[in-house]
Chains A and B, each alone.
Chain A
Amino acid sequence: DTAVSQTPKYLVTQMGNDKSIKCEQNLGHDTMYWYKQDSKKFLKIMFSYNNKELIINETVPNRFSPKSPDKAHLNLHINSLELGDSAVYFCASSRGLGGETQYFGPGTRLLVL
């Protein structure tokens, strides 16, 4: 069984469009994250949520809006997509906020044309 899953795996879209990426974890974890890995392979945290509450927002443009309908899901909605948003987006989860191991999903490869 997949612990952390993301959909879609690939996303190709035009500049200016709005798109969403979904993440689900079946580990019973309270905390979920979004990371972005750019073309130079730098991996950087964007957001974290704990029990549906926003904990970390790493100065991400407000075109990015995470939404956590329940603690097993953390979706990422992106408005007005720009070329620079092209990257691989990874979702992760951990048991809580105490520095526990983070488990990553397989990533969503977003290409903005």
Chain B
Amino acid sequence: DAKTTQPTSMDCAEGRAANLPCNHSTISGNEYVYWYRQIHSQGPQYIIHGLKNNETNEMASLIITEDRKSSTLILPHATLRDTAVYYCIVRVAGYGGATNKLIFGTGTLLAVQP
């Protein structure tokens, strides 16, 4: 079972920042937080991941709380093409089969409005 809780859906105005929350209150010290998204009818796409520090890449920023029990994915300037289901996934660090699978929850459907 997924170890994360996300809102079912969110709306965001085009051009504004989209802030997607994720609760992972049972996260362990050796578990990363990953974000993937799935645009309608496509395969999931990696966005970003982090352990405890905030991370930023060309797609998004990831803010992880100091206690690591929750995180927020930020899309700084959402566009219509960002409409998708966003999955927050907790994953054990390490090498091997058991750690290498992604356990998807129900995700958040982000609808970017014009």
Binding site for B on A (CB under 8 A): 4, 31, 33, 35, 41-45, 48, 50, 55-56, 58, 90, 92, 94, 96-99, 101-107
Contact = CB atoms under 8 A, between A and B. Distances in A.
Given A99-B32, A107-B41, A43 B104 contact: yes
Contacts of B103: 45
Interface residues of B, number: 25
Interface string B6-41: 000000000000000000000000001000001001
A24 to B, nearest CB: 14
Contacts of B92: 99
Which secondary structure dominates where chain A touches chain B?
strand
A103 B106 CA distance: 19
26 contacts: A4-B43, A31-B100, A33-B101, A35-B102, A41-B85, A43-B44, A45-B102, A48-B97, A48-B100, A48-B101, A90-B44, A92-B43, A92-B44, A94-B100, A96-B95, A97-B96, A97-B99, A98-B94, A99-B94, A99-B100, A102-B44, A102-B102, A103-B46, A104-B44, A104-B45, A106-B43
Counting chain A CB atoms within 10 Å of each CB, the highest count among B96, B97, B98 belongs to: B97
Nearest to B94: A99
Contacts of B97: 48, 50, 55-56, 97
